[in-house]
């Protein structure tokens, strides 16, 4: 029994010691957090790194001032770094606490200027194209060269040539540091364009068609044609803008034949070989419609019979959405009807 009491006393003492330790640790942690978020006064601000801007310009633009009250880390430091980054003038920006006496801290702003473009060499296209490339991509001498500028230029040029039928177009951009007596960050740029060959259309495949033939659909596509040996004088190149126009023509072909709900589900480009592709077009035809009874509203000048002669549509005719739109336009704009 005495031994049991002794054990209980030991447990109580151990628990009491753990409790004291926990409270002490919590107070110490709270004290540390309090110090972390405590306010400091900015003492001296210096500027280092490779930059052509004067220290006073950088400090003023950052918004930091001697004598300001700040927290480290804190919102004012983050805002200063963000402002300098968003100027798009620097490749790196850092702010350091280099010295602290009581609550007075000295700060250092360290940054690197973005390099300026001093020379641009373009290859792979004719010289008369140089000016357009420079203007469209803002590659004038003196521009700040960023990773975003390089990526944007590469993507723009590749997409531009792909839209013209050069689906394998590749653009390679290299920069090289230029060292001179000015100590400014400078680079020269080499821009190489490899358009490759225009891609031909080897096959056009339609999926989901039951009511119109593949031949009729291909015929409706005036600009996009597959290559044929006996038709060597006609182009069979893939041009994106022409293809988009022909997609509209496909839907119109269905509307002319009564399928007013026809639509393109998807269109896919599949590589056939290095210089040719297969176009796969998936359609949903929908139901075939015919015209029912036609009623005219607001026709105070002409009779229904006269309007029927103009419209030339009667009950039971196959619905032709394209022709109906044309006829409706003519009826609404003819001076004879006077609506």
In the prediction, which pLDDT does 10 show? 44
User: Do 301 and 309 contact (CB within 8 A), yes or no?
Assistant: no
* pLDDT at 183 (0 to 100): 75
Structural domains of the chain ordered from first start: 39-113 (3.10.20.310), 116-194 (3.10.20.310), 200-284 (3.10.20.310), 291-339 (no CATH)
Residue 25 confidence (pLDDT) = 37
Q: What is the pLDDT of residue 173?
A: 96
Q: What is the pLDDT of residues 132-145, one digit of tens each?
A: 999 999 999 999 99
SS3 207: strand
Q: Round to whole Å and give the CA distance between 166 and 97.
A: 54
Query: What is the pLDDT, as a whole number, of residue 4?
Result: 41
pLDDT at residue 33, as a whole number = 40
Q: Which helix (H) or strand (E) holds 116?
A: strand 116-123
Could you tell me where the beta strands, DSSP code E, fall in 13-114?
39-50, 69-71, 90-101, 104-113
What parts of the chain have a pLDDT lower than 70? 1-38, 227-235, 298-300, 310, 328-339
> Distance between alpha carbon 143 and the CA centroid of its chain, in Å?
22
Q: Whole-model pTM?
A: 0.63
Tokens of 335: 């001076």
Conformational region of residue 236, where left means phi above 0, alpha means psi within -120 to 50, and beta covers everything else: alpha
| Per-position DSSP letters for 140-157, written without gaps between them | -TT-B--HHHHHHHHHHH
CB atoms within 10 A of CB 211: 14
Contacts 24+ apart (CB under 8 A), 69-78: 69/39, 69/40, 69/41, 69/42, 70/39, 70/40, 70/41, 70/42, 70/105, 71/37, 71/38, 71/39, 71/40, 72/40, 72/97, 72/105, 74/37
Determine if the peptide bond prior to 73 is cis (ω within 30°): yes
Q: What is the pLDDT of residues 296-333, one digit of tens each?
A: 776 667 777 777 776 777 777 788 877 777 776 666 66
Q: How far apart are CA 253 and CA 205, in angstroms?
A: 17
């Amino acid at each position: 029994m005495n031994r049991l009491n002794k054990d209980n006393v030991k447990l109580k003492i151990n628990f009491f010691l753990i409790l004291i330790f926990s409270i002490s640790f919590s107070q110490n942690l709270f004290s540390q957090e309090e110090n972390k978020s405590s306010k400091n006064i900015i003492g001296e601000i210096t500027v280092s790194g490779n930059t052509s801007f004067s220290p006073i310009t950088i400090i003023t633009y950052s918004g930091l001032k001697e004598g300001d009250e700040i927290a480290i880390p804190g919102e004012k430091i983050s805002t200063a770094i963000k402002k300098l980054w968003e100027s798009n003038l620097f490749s790196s920006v850092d702010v350091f606490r280099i010295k602290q006496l009581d609550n007075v801290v000295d700060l250092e702003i360290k940054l690197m200027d973005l390099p300026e473009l001093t020379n641009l060499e373009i290859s792979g296209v004719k010289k008369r194209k140089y000016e357009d490339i420079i203007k469209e991509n803002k590659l004038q001498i003196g521009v700040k060269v960023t990773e975003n500028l390089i990526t944007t230029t590469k993507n723009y040029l590749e997409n531009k040539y792909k839209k013209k039928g050069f689906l394998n177009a590749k653009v390679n951009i290299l920069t090289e540091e230029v060292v001179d007596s000015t100590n400014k960050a400078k680079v020269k740029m080499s821009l190489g364009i490899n358009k490759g060959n225009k891609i031909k259309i080897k096959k056009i495949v339609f999926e989901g068609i039951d009511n119109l033939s593949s031949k009729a659909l291909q015929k409706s596509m005036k600009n996009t044609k597959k290559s044929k040996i006996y038709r060597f004088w006609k182009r069979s190149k893939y041009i994106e803008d022409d293809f988009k126009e022909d997609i509209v023509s496909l839907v119109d072909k269905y509307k002319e034949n009564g399928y007013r709900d026809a639509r393109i589900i998807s269109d896919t480009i599949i590589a056939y070989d290095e210089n040719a592709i297969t176009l796969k077009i998936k359609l949903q035809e929908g139901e075939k419609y015919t015209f029912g009874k036609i009623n005219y509203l607001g026709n105070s000048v002409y009779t229904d019979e006269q309007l029927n002669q103009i419209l030339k549509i009667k009950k039971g005719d196959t619905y032709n959405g394209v022709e109906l739109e044309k006829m409706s336009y003519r009826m609404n704009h003819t001076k004879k009807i006077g609506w």
